[in-house]
Amino acid sequence: MQPIKKCFFGALCLLVSMSPIAAADDRPVIEENQGKALLIYNIAKFTDWPAATARSDTPFIFALWNDDALADAFKIIEGLETQGRKIRINRQNKDSLAVDCQVIIIPKHQLQRFNKAKDELDKLPILTVTTAPKVFEAGAMVLVEVVDDHLSFSVNLPAVKASGLEISGNLLRHAEEVKF
CA angle 13, 16, 22 (to 5 degrees): 130
Instruction: Return the closest-CA partner of residue 4 out of 179, 165, 173.
Output: 173
How far is it, in rounded angstroms, from Cα 161 to Cα 125?
9
- pLDDT (average), residues 45-51: 90
Domain range for 106 is 3-179
According to the model, what pLDDT value does residue 158 have? 95
- Tell me how far CA of residue 116 lies from CA of 3, 103, 143, in angstroms: 41, 18, 19
Those residues whose C-beta lies under 8 Å from the C-beta of residue 78, and which sit 6 or more positions away, are 87, 88, 89
- pLDDT (average), residues 101-113: 87
pLDDT top residue among 5 and 165:
165
- Which CATH number fits the domain that encloses residue 60? 3.40.50
Does residue 172 have a pLDDT over 90? yes
Q: Give residue 123's identity as a one-letter amino acid code.
A: K
Could you give the number of structural domains in the chain? 1
- pLDDT (average), residues 145-158: 94
The pTM for the full model equals 0.79
**Which range, 6-20, 61-75, 153-167, has the best average confidence (pLDDT)?**
153-167
- pLDDT (average), residues 96-110: 81
8 A C-beta contact, residue 173 and residue 144: no
8 A C-beta contact, residue 154 and residue 132: no
Work out the pLDDT band at 27, boundaries 50, 70, 90: low
pLDDT top residue among 136 and 1:
136
- Tell me how far CA of residue 118 lies from CA of 24, 57, 112, 139, in angstroms: 45, 28, 10, 8
Does residue 174 have a pLDDT over 90? yes
How far is it, in rounded angstroms, from Cα 171 to Cα 167?
7
